[in-house]
Structure 1
Amino acid sequence: MQTKINVGFIGAGKSTHRYQAPFILRRNDKFTIKTIWARNLNHIKWERIPNVNYTDDLESMLNDEEIELIVVSTPVMHYEYALMALEH
């Protein structure tokens, strides 16, 4: 039996909430969204996804050994965030 892949998102904006997260949520037999990181939790304009941890602590998300896949969903700094995720 295959286990679900735990996903973390870097970025909590439109791309995450309108496009990427719904795609993953429809495949809940294979994926679980565990954590979504936002630079500032008070600036999230989208309805929060139930049962998902929202954090402003990027290091704790990157160091979470349960997260197996990181989706970089930011308007800028894709390379820097992808490098951080790979290094962790």
Structure 2
Amino acid sequence: MVTELTTLLNCLDEIYDELVKSGKIDSAQFFLKHRVEIDKMRNDPNKLKDVIRDLTTCRAMAQYANFSLKEEALLDEVVSSSSACLHNIP
């Protein structure tokens, strides 16, 4: 699970940076909030699952926040990484 979680955290950093660059601060804050929560909840599998599960259902954000193709690709990586993490949390 450590590898999947590291991958997810890296994906969250990437999408955050890209969204900040394009001025989509509200969307960027969503991912930063989740990243901080994941760091806090690492030792509590139940709460960690809740935070990560939220990331598996955020794909619609790309439509209402008018994501670029690059931002959509990064969002897909976040969703995929989140799903992989969920399957590996005890």
TM interval, shorter chain, is 0.3 to 0.5
Whichever structure has more helix as a proportion of its residues is 2
Whichever structure has more strand as a proportion of its residues is 1
